[in-house]
Structure 1
Amino acid sequence: MDIARAGVEPAVVKFYRQYMQQINDVTYPPGHLLVKQDVQDCLYKYFFDVSQNKYLPPARYQTRILKRIIQEIEKSCRDPDQDQVSDQLMEHMGYLSTILPPPESDDEAQQKHVHSYFPPLPLDEPGVQPILIDEARNLLSRGTNVGLRTWEAALHLAWYLILQRPEVVKDKTVLELGAGTGFLSLLCAGHLGAAHVVATDGLAHVCDALQDNVDLNRENNALLGHEPPEVRQLDWTDRPEIERLLNSAGRPYDLVVGADITYHPDILRPLAELLGLLKDRFPDIVILISAAIRSDTYAQFTSICQHQVGFRVVEQQCKIPEGLQYSGFFHSVATELKIVSLER
């Protein structure tokens, strides 16, 4: 389903991209647009008609969004003979009320759904393909759960790569550490056209979920005809497995990426040492790390990289625009996000 081909205003396309990503703070189009019958027809077709889109958000999310849409339309009605909420939207609201599960519980919040991450390409560009990630976005980040949802640091680095540094990925061999859901690896393999991507994570169940996301995108042609990422389990302290990984690439690694992988103090030194080994083996490799600054572990990591592994830590600028220019990979910057390159 390509809403950009429907001829609607960019504000509606942005609303659709936010809705399909299932973010909390969507930007509703102005009432004077929503009240138009052709816009309402478009909303029903693209937002709520399961026969047109098999990866619609869950019923509770749909209900919250549709309730607000109806409120905005009703507030904007000026001529009661012409301005009204369409029958399709009202009927779908009634349908949702019959299938809505009981009030949200922790169990419901942990359930997985397919989220569609549209890249920040122009809102009027036709044929923009999202990255599909089956995950629980409200998953509680406890223990081994951290790799089962896409975090803001990954979205931030994705924005940076696709808009500011696509050349470091195109036709290159890419290694992702702590890949989690595989979002960044799928971006590099599909939209950014890497020659080969190896997506690694340390936990077997995370690698299983990662492989499921790779399969999901391949089956839905979301990789734009490119080779899917290769999934491998990798313990950063397992030197023999690291050697096997480095020797099996077939060509030098050109880029290593990692997002939100500096959150636990016990993994900082093994991570820094692995990155040092990669730089020793492949001197021209580009290393990009993205992190949300929630504690002092990021400062500990950069200190180890500088003083014990011999890296220069160079902060990369990435400013997310406002308004309609903010057109995809939506994420909160309430917590400070940083991207650094590690250089020698």
Structure 2
Amino acid sequence: MDIARAGVEPIVVKFYRQYMQQINELSHPPGSLLITPDVQSCLYKYFFDESQNAFLPPPRYQVKVLRHIILEIEKSMKDPEEDQVSDQLYEHLGYLSAIPSQDQAEEAQQLHVQSYYPPLPFDEHGIQPILIKEARNLLSRGNNVGLRTWEAALHLGWYLFKQSPELVRGKNILELGAGTGFLSILCAGLKAASVLATDGLGLVCESLQANVDLNLQNNTLGDAKGPDVLQLDWTDQPAIEQLIEDARKSNTSYDLVIGADITYHPDILRPLAELLSIIKDNFPNVAILISATIRSDTFSRFTAICQDEFKLKVIEHTVVIPDGLRYSGFFHSVATPIKIVSLERA
């Protein structure tokens, strides 16, 4: 669904992109805009009509958004004869309200498709979102961290898409701890020569492959080849050696290694740093970008290991997230600091 073709105001397009990504803090259009019949018709078609959109948010999220829309419209009414909420919106609220509610904890574990629109102009037609089936409100517990897209991945996605696309286009990419596959799928869409998405858990790799297939089936990558998926344990030396050997046999020299929110557990910091050092030794020109949300001291411990034990220089990169209508996709909070660093041989 391409809402840009509906000719609505940019704030409505932004609202739609945020809604399809199912973020919590939405940029709601003003009631003076929502009250117009054409906008209400557009809202129903693009936001709530499942016959028009196969990947709508789950009912609980729709209800929350629709109630706010109706409230804003009602607050803006000045002439009861002229100003009204459309029957379609009222009827859909009634339909959603009749759906039995689920336990919130159980619902948080369920997988739903999120649509991540890239940060492109609101009036540009034909923009395809990255589709990721995930548990968006999942709390981090044990082996499930790879089943949702975390803020550090969106932060690095913004950086690659808006600030440094030349690092991806035509390059061979390796992602470590790929999780849902958001970044790998993004790199494929940015016309990388090849993308290998790796994760250490079989369950996560199955979900990752399903997301690659979902995007290929829905033509979100155009004529680009989807990422390959490989299970890779950072402590498995034979598997790491095989990764290097396979690259050599296929005449693949990795140009970029990426990882997002992969430094959260103390036990994996040294194996990760050692793996990155091995990759750098075998592919001296490779760029390495690591993105991390700073929730504890594990990231500083990781960078210290890189510098002190493996002689890797750490360089921090500045990411500029604009305000207002200039912020047009890959929405994420930076209330908790997120850092992106590159690792170079000292």
TM-score range, shorter chain: over 0.9
Tell me the residue number matched to 1:159. 158
Range that drifts further, 9-18 or 81-90 = 81-90
Kept in 2, the 8 Å contact 1:256–1:288? The answer is yes
1:114 aligns with: 113
Number of the residue aligned with 2:172: 173
Distance 1:239 1:17 in 2: 43
Match of 1:226 in 2: 224
The alpha carbon displacement at 1:248 in A equals 1.6
Give the corresponding residue for 1:208. Answer: 206
Q: How far apart are residue 56 of structure 1 and its match?
A: 0.2
1:217, 1:129 → 2: CA distance?
Answer: 10
Partner of 2:125: 126
In structure 2, distance between residues paired with 1:306 and 1:231? 30
Tell me the C-alpha RMSD between the 2 structures: 0.8
Provide the residue aligned with 2:32 in structure 1.
Answer: 32
Rounded to whole Å, the distance in 1 between the matches of 2:246 and 2:125 is: 38
**What does residue 325 of structure 2 align with?**
324
SS of structure 2 residue aligned to 1:153: helix
Aligned position for 1:302: 303
Q: Please list the CA deviations of residues 274-331 of structure 1 after superposition, one character each: whole Å capped at 9, or x if unmatched.
A: 1011111111101000000011100000001111111110000002111001111011
C-alpha deviation, 1:32, in angstroms: 1.1
2:78 matched to 1:78?
A: yes
SS at match of 1:248: helix
* Conserved 8 A contact 1:200-1:232: yes
**What is the CA–CA distance in structure 1 between the aligned matches of 2:260 and 2:221, rounded to whole Å?**
21
Match of 1:10 in 2: 10
Any unmatched runs of 5+ in structure 2? none
CA distance in 2, matches of 1:326, 1:240: 44
Please give the secondary structure, in 1, of the residue aligned with 2:132. Answer: strand
> Once the 2 structures are TM-superposed, how far is the Cα of residue 34 of structure 1 from its aligned partner?
0.3
In structure 2, how many angstroms separate the alpha carbons of the residues matched to 1:23 and 1:194?
28
Q: Contact 1:60–1:100 (CA<8 Å) still a contact in 2?
A: no
- Secondary structure at the aligned position of 1:99 is classed as coil
Once the 2 structures are TM-superposed, how far is the Cα of residue 100 of structure 1 from its aligned partner? 4.0
Q: Which moved more, 1:52-61 or 1:236-245?
A: 236-245
**Is 76-85 or 127-136 further displaced after alignment?**
76-85
- Contact 1:4 1:125 (8 Å CA) reproduced: yes
Task: Please give the residue correspondences for 1:19-58 in structure 2 after superposition, counting only pairs within 5 Å.
Answer: 19-58=19-58
CA deviations over 1:15-71 (Å, ceiling 9, x no partner): 000000000111100111100000000000000000000100000100000000000
1:187-213 deviation digits (Å, cap 9, x = unpaired): 0001x1101000000000000000010
CA deviation after TM superposition for structure 1 residue 224, in Å: 1.8
1:17 & 1:66 partners in 2: Cα distance?
15
* 1:68 matched to 2:72: no
Q: Give yes or no for contact 1:59–1:100 (8 Å, CA) kept in 2.
A: no
Deviations 1:107-149 (A, max 9, x none): 1111110000001111111111100000011112100011110
CA distance in 2 between partners of 1:105 and 1:37 (Å): 34
Contact 1:119 1:130 in 2 (8 A): yes
2 CA distance for matches of 1:246 and 1:43?
A: 50
Distance in 2, Cα, partners of 1:272 & 1:95? 52
Give the structure 1 partner of residue 139 of structure 2: 140
Q: 2: CA distance between counterparts of 1:195 and 1:101? A: 46
Instruction: Report the secondary structure of 2:146's partner residue.
Output: helix
Structure 1: distance between partners of 2:290 and 2:241: 22
